[in-house]
Every structure is written in C-alpha cells, then in structure tokens.
Structure 1
Amino acid sequence: MTSDDVTSDEGRVRVVRLLRVRAGREAAFLRHYHDVRARAERFPGHLGEQLCRSLDDPAQWLLTSEWESLAAIKGWRTDPEHAALVRTMNDCLHGDRSTTVYRVMVTVPG
C-alpha cells in the first residue's frame, strides 16, 4: 500500500451503536430496523451502514452508519420521522445500549 491508497475523510462521521436485543424480540427488531434504514437511505448525507450480530453473544448487535458530515447526522437525529421510527426499534432493546459518533480520519480502500 502506498500513501496514494490512503485518503483523508475529515468531513465524514461514523455512528457506532452497541445494542442488546431482548430475547424473543429479534424479528420485531429487524422489522423496525429495516424501517429506520429505509428512511436513512433517503436522508441527505447518509452514506451507508451495517448491522452485525455477535457470533459469541447473539443478543449483542452492532449497528454502524456513515454520514457525510456531523451536520448530516445532527439533522438525522433531530428528524421527527427518525425519532418515531427509532422509538419502536428501541422498544426491542435492553437499556444498556450505547451510541458514539466518531470522525472518520482515514479510509483505506479494500
């Protein structure tokens, strides 16, 4: 890899959510997540996301999304439709979830 392969992404941000889905609520969680994701895909500044489930602890999930800027994620977080969709998704979760926003500093192509 050369320095030309690495790019700076100073404007981009990544949101990381660690979630624990309540037993028996997995199907409902996935339905609600797909509703949230469908809205996010239409929201300005949304670049993509991933939903992962732990192989070691199936109740543990990881949700990451990438945004063009901090302003884009702030707009998403204050969107009334987003708030309503996330509320129903969060009803499937234990209270010990966390969300952190990170500045993307470097991207290395795959």
Structure 2
Amino acid sequence: MTERNAAPAPVRVVRLLRVLEGREAEFVESYQDVLERAVRSPGHLREQLCRSLDDPGQWLLTSEWESFEAIKRWRTDPDHAALVGPMNACLHDDRWTGVFEIVPEDPGARKPRQG
C-alpha cells in the first residue's frame, strides 16, 4: 500500500484476548511490565488496553508503531518471549493478533461538523 521511496507507514497491532477467570489482576500487572519495556523500544508510539463491558473476560490490546520493521524488531528481541510469557500465561489459547498498516487521513475529505 505504501509507495516506494515514501516514509514507512505506521502500523497498528490489534490483539483480541480472553483472560482466564480470576487472573485479571495478574494479567494487568504483567501487561504493565511489558508496557514499561515496549515504550522504550525504538518505534513504539502508543498503546492501549481495553476490557469489554459486554464480556469482561474479553480484552483488546492495541499498539501503534512507526513501521512494520519497528514491530518486527520488538517481536524478535531476544528478551521478548520471556517478557510476554507471564502475560500470555493469563490467557486462553483462543487469542487473535493482526498487524495493520494505518492509512493516512485525507484532511480534505473531512467536512466540518455543523450545529
């Protein structure tokens, strides 16, 4: 989707997770440990953890990175598996992860709200 010679497009990682019942506090604590390291990782832009109001066992974790290469560096860091292990131990196996290129907004396509 990105043009050659253009700056790399930012990406968003989306993880849909199901936390084991009774392990919610442990999950959040281990997520905070991962987050502390992620924010120091080159190319990390932002991160958000959300819990479903309709189904409290379901969680959504999103992170934004400067490029696909930045997220690949984070995922292949030798310490990554050990770092995310305690967090993943709190999860059911039915989790899903996707990496998406963020399409730039066209400011001209936005119309001002009226009223």
TM range (shorter): 0.7 to 0.9
Query: What secondary structure, in the 3-state scheme, does the structure 2 residue paired with 1:80 have?
Result: coil
Using the size of structure 2 for normalisation, the TM-score is 0.83
Matches within 5 A, 1:43-58: 43-58=41-56
Q: Is 1:71 the counterpart of 2:69 in the alignment?
A: yes
Residues 71 and 10 (structure 1 numbering): CA distance in 2 closer, same or farther, change over 3 Å? closer
Q: Which amino acid aligns with 2:73?
A: G
Q: Is 1:20 the counterpart of 2:18 in the alignment?
A: yes
After superposition, the CA RMSD in angstroms is 1.6
Greater strand fraction, Structure 1 or Structure 2:
1
Aligned counterparts of 1:42 and 1:81: Cα–Cα separation in 2: 13
Q: How many residues align?
A: 101
Unaligned runs of 5+ in 2: 1-6, 108-115
- Larger CA Rg, structure 1 vs 2: 2
Using the size of structure 1 for normalisation, the TM-score is 0.87
Once the 2 structures are TM-superposed, how far is the Cα of residue 81 of structure 1 from its aligned partner? 1.9
Structure 2 residue aligned with 1:4: none
Residues 25 and 107 (structure 1 numbering): CA distance in 2 closer, same or farther, change over 3 Å? farther
Structure 2 residue aligned with 1:37: 35
Greater helix fraction, Structure 1 or Structure 2:
1
CA distances 1:17-73 after superposition (whole Å, capped 9, x unpaired): 000000000010011000000000000000001100000000000000000000000
Contact 1:51 1:61 in 2 (8 A): yes
Percent of aligned positions with the same letter in both sequences? 66
